[in-house]
Chains A and B, each alone.
Chain A
Amino acid sequence: MAECDKASRKITIKLVYYGPALSGKTTNLTRLHDLLAPDLKGEIMALETHDDRTLFFDLLPLGFRTPSDWLIKFKLYTVPGQVVHDATRKAVLSRADGVVFVADSQRSQGLNNSESFQNLEDNVRRVGLDFERLPLVVQFNKRDLSNIVSEEEMRARWGATPWPLTFASALSGPGVTQTFRTLAHAVYPDLDARFGLAARHGVGPDAFVSAVMGGAAHAA
């Protein structure tokens, strides 16, 4: 749940990159750090093991100031994808305002994807969030590889679900900002309803998205 701190005039929004091990969550965050250019951008804080597997989480803070001179802060987290870290995943997922599910497009990863997605659904419920209402974007990553499930097939499989689908190659960049933009749009209505982003702070949906993305707002 986003937090609204009236005393220091800031709203903090939490977005989480979820998905199976090695699907490219950390890579997504790294790319976003390079590509996004909001007013305020922190360094990525990575808590990883020696072999670059996420141990606790990665955290990228982004932010901008509203015309009302409030600070809108985004905290982008990744969870550790390895199955053993479930308790950590749950802790990181709690109070999330939106989730990107990073799936691995490789043919061999179908089972891992669906198990992880099931785990997401379970954990969302465990931390007391409403899975039906949680803004969620499903990203199929590693499109640059050759042994992948085709886009049509993915759309056929996932088309009936309510979530927007995106396709990305996080390693080189395509699709990463597109995914983030889709999520930013998806989280806006609820935040607007709760905090009056448009009415009280003068931030409409498009302004909201371009502010957090900066120069990357209209890139691919």
Chain B
Amino acid sequence: MQPKGFERALGLGELLSGIGRETLAAELGRALGRPIAVTALTGETVLGEPTEAGEGVRRVPLRYDLEVVGYLQARECDEARLRALGRILEFFFQSSARYFLASELHLEVVQADFQALTHKHQSLVHSEARYKALAENLEARVKEQVGLIEDTQRQLYQAEKMASVGQLAAGVAHEINNPIGFIRSNLNTARSYVEKLATFRRTLKTQGVPQDWAWMEADLDFVLEDFRALLAESLSGAERVARIVADLKGFSAVDQAGQSSVDLNEQLRAVGDIAATQIRGCAELVLDLGPLPAVRCQPGQLNQVFLNLLLNALQAVEGRGQIRIATDVRDHQIRIRIADTGRGIPEAILPRIFEPFFTTRAVGQGTGLGLTVSRDIVVAHGGRIEVESRVGAGTTFTVWLPVAPD
């Protein structure tokens, strides 16, 4: 096996490098007082003039690294001086070797370091690429997860709204009970009036009783009059019940995913009626509904939008104020404005109110999804929601819907 790297054997030529050879030979010759020559083991002269071996030629071995590497020779010279010069040359070899070893080891180390660095760099590049891929992947996955969570939350919200619709329905049931109550009592009264008529009939059949007297006895003047009123009242009560039931039917279309063609004014009236129990005593609801073309939409969903906006408005007026719902057609679009005279929305939070989960309500009072879901629904219908607000003066939400969405 050949020695490698910094440990390789050095030749005489290398050991003599670093100083001009002619100068070196000349100075050595001057020191000795005779021309000198250095020969390699092969006999080749590497320094000075070749000298013929023969009488009068002296030579001393030159060692490097424990071994003879060449000879220093001169003709007819002082032996001791020649030896001394040989030692000096050996020091010179040592010093050259020191330089060679150091520089070659340095080279080796630098190369090894460079390789290590290159390797490190490559693995860094590699791992950076992996982390980048991972990071991108992660971002996508986080987004996906967040999306999933938001979707779930929105679904939950829909379910919750359904539950609150249930509460509204309870209020509505109460509303219905009232007319049903007086209709029932009217009907009872009507039955007693019918009894009275039957009594009059019997009296008429009995001989000898004057008819006038019998009429008065049965108080039929009053009966006739009251019967009419009672029927009128019952009819209007029944109508009220019928309307409420119709409203409820329209509203409960929330989970019916079908499209149908509706008059949004009717939907808005229905929403107003549904919320009537909550509005009564807290705010004055004014409907200013202009004629609208029929719209193909998912009425249940739009109702939910209107209810969200209405309830937000109700919460904003804080017990005293007006809520105005106005509709008209502007620039070939249907415009529904729900305006309140409530506290208004501070400018700082105005850009955020449509963000999912953004709410200023006390913990547990609002999910902060009302406007988010409303906007989702309106956008799904090809429309948009705008908001204008002045703190202390009130807020107007405007829903724009296309006249003929396809």
Interface residues of A (CB under 8 A from B): 1, 3, 8, 10, 12, 14, 40-43, 45, 47, 56-57, 59, 61-63, 71, 73, 75, 87-88, 90-92, 94-95
Contact = CB atoms under 8 A, between A and B. Distances in A.
Contacts of B116: 87
Contacts of B6: 91
Nearest to B114: A87
B14 to A, nearest CB: 15
Contacts of B5: 91, 94
Contacts of B30: none
A25 B401 CA distance: 90
Contact of A45 (B66, B67, B97, B109): B97
Contacts of B109: 87-88, 91
B108 A47 contact: no
Given A12-B3, A61-B66, A63-B66, A45 B94 contact: yes
A56 B102 contact: yes
B113 interface: yes
Interface in B1-59: 1-7
Interface in B90-138: 94, 97-98, 101-102, 105-106, 108-109, 112-113, 116
A38 to B, nearest CB: 10
Contacts of B94: 43, 45
Contact of A71 (B66, B101, B102): B66
Given A45-B98, A88-B109, 12 more contacts: A10-B67, A40-B66, A41-B66, A45-B97, A47-B101, A56-B106, A59-B101, A71-B66, A87-B116, A88-B105, A91-B5, A91-B6
A47 B1 contact: no
A56 B3 contact: no
A59 B67 CA distance: 16
Contacts of B105: 47, 56-57, 88, 91-92
Given A88-B109, A91-B6, A61 B65 contact: yes
Given A43-B94, A57-B105, A59-B101, A91 B66 contact: no
Nearest to B90: A43
A12 to B, nearest CB: 7
Contacts of A94: 5
A91 B3 contact: no
A56 B65 contact: no
Contacts of A63: 66
Contacts of A3: 1-3
Q: Is the interface of A mostly helix, strand, loop or mixed?
A: strand
12 contacts: A3-B3, A41-B66, A43-B94, A47-B98, A47-B102, A56-B105, A62-B66, A87-B112, A87-B116, A91-B108, A92-B105, A94-B5
A168 to B, nearest CB: 26
A22 to B, nearest CB: 21
A56 B106 CA distance: 8
Nearest to B111: A87
A71 B106 CA distance: 29
Contacts of B7: 14, 75, 95
Contacts of A43: 94
Given A45-B94, A71-B66, A56 B101 contact: yes
Nearest to B106: A56
A152 B300 CA distance: 92
What 5 A-B pairs come out closest when comparing CB atoms?
A87-B109, A40-B66, A63-B66, A87-B112, A91-B108
A43 B5 CA distance: 21
Interface centre among A3, A41, A63 (most CB of B within 10 A): A3
Contacts of A41: 66
Contacts of A75: 7
A9 B222 CA distance: 151
Nearest to B3: A3
A42 B91 CA distance: 11
A77 to B, nearest CB: 9
B61 to A, nearest CB: 13
Residue from the set A45, A56, A91 with the largest chain B CB neighbour count within 10 Å: A91
Interface in B166-223: none
A73 B1 contact: no
B216 to A, nearest CB: 126
A83 to B, nearest CB: 14
Nearest to B99: A47
B113 A87 contact: yes
Nearest to B113: A87
Contacts of B108: 91
B177 to A, nearest CB: 89
Given A87-B113, A88-B105, A90-B112, A71 B98 contact: no
Contacts of A14: 7
Contacts of A73: 65-66
Contacts of A71: 66-67
A96 to B, nearest CB: 11
Contacts of A8: 67
A42 B3 contact: no
Nearest to A77: B7
